[in-house]
Structure 1
Amino acid sequence: MNICVFCASSQHIDKKYIELAGHVGTELAKRGHTLVSGGATVSCMGAVTSAARAAGARTIGVIPQVLVDIEIADEESDELVVAADMRERKGLMDARSDAFLVLPGGIGTLEELFEIWTARVLGIHHRPLVVLDPWGLYDPLRKLMNHLYDEGFTRPETFDAISWTTTVEEAFAHLEARTHPVRPSVAELGESAG
């Protein structure tokens, strides 16, 4: 399976996030999958790619020309695709992927998450979408999504389209089973936040 991993490129984050990305890359390779990534060598993106490749996985990097120009492209990728811009990059990553795994990240990661999530809710694709969030970074987002549902802005399918996980093994189990849980209860969200 070609698994697209969306994750941080920020240099100013806790080392635990970079270690998590490395663990994901190693597990992906161990399970025989191919990595599709943003094609850069920095932060979590670099860690997931380096670990996947070191453990024997094939890696496909997709990077816009502007980032190649500032010399952060992963030239060691088995396949490095240079996109014209960020929009083309996302489209190419989407087209090359059988499943999507979202790690902790910032606004770029959230943009990627929401685009794939929206497309799945609309039935544009039926590929697995899994979030790996061991430390509850996305708990406020989950609460917001429940609030949007309560206010009538989202449908139940919104929650069926995504799996929220807390361990690497659980995340890959969801990716490989291609199953998705239903909307979490407010009580479950309160427990994970605490």
Structure 2
Amino acid sequence: MAPVPGRRVCVYCASSTHDPGLLQIATEVGNGIAHRGWSLVSGGGNVSMMGAVAEAARDGGARTVGVIPEGLRVREVADTAADDLVVVTTMRERKREMEERSDAFLTLPGGIGTMEEMFEVWTSASLGFHHKPVVLYDPIGFYRPLMDWVGGLVESGLVKPQAFDSLVVCDDLEAALDACGGRR
């Protein structure tokens, strides 16, 4: 399967870490998105992993769209280099804009905001509210304890197996990008 031209991939990731290994993961993802000729949709910050993925995508020729609430614009230091920087009022508006502007969702390591974004699009997909790929790229086992816990919810009957399976978990970047929309 060839890559889908013009694919718009939303990346959820940390906006506060300075860990070199995590920044490298973000850079590789941005490079991968650009290499496939896709566009990046992000949370609109130019710091930490969020900034690294956007900068790498742009450096590779990808179009970048950042969506940031006014209240975070200064705190996160807005990605003013984005091809399109959308400033919204609330976090709910931010998530809606990011979802509407995206064809697939790719989650990298991050904190509670990243997990909240992933869980929302994952839940929506599992309920059939959208049919866009939801992918968790976890090359370092960052989310392994979380996925073990959610797997336990499946075993207890609190999460349906098909809901659990609607999230694609990959530890290989090419497989994660393939899951977002086609091979390179």
**Contact 2:154–2:164 under 8 Å retained in 1:** no
Which stretches in structure 1 are left out of the alignment for 5+ residues? 179-194
Counting aligned pairs with the same residue, the percent is 50
Question: What displacement does 1:73 show?
Answer: 0.4
1:12-71 deviations in Å (ceiling 9; x for gaps) = x52101011001001100100000000001100000000000110000000000112336
Question: What displacement does 1:97 show?
Answer: 0.4
Query: How many correspondences in the alignment?
Result: 177
- AA aligned to 2:16 is S
1:88-134 deviations in Å (ceiling 9; x for gaps) = 10010001000000001110100001000000011000100111101
Question: What displacement does 1:168 show?
Answer: 1.3
**1:4 and 2:13 are equivalent in the alignment:** no
Corresponding residue to 1:44 among 44, 49, 52: 49
Q: Aligned pair in 2 of structure 1 residues 68, 161: CA closer, same or farther (>3 Å)? A: same
Corresponding residue to 1:171 among 165, 176, 181: 176
Relative to the length of structure 1, the TM-score reads: 0.88
Partner in structure 2 of residue 134 of structure 1:
139
**1:88 and 2:93 are equivalent in the alignment:** yes
Question: What displacement does 1:9 show?
Answer: 0.5
Relative to the length of structure 2, the TM-score reads: 0.93
Question: What displacement does 1:177 show?
Answer: 4.0
SS in structure 1 at match of 2:140 = coil
1:172-192 deviations in Å (ceiling 9; x for gaps) = 1111249xxxxxxxxxxxxxx
Q: Aligned pair in 2 of structure 1 residues 152, 96: CA closer, same or farther (>3 Å)? A: same
- AA aligned to 1:72 is V
Corresponding residue to 1:157 among 138, 142, 162: 162
**1:21 and 2:15 are equivalent in the alignment:** no
- AA aligned to 1:57 is A
Aligned-residue Cα RMSD (Å) equals 1.3
Q: Which 4+ stretches in 1 moved above 4 angstroms?
A: none
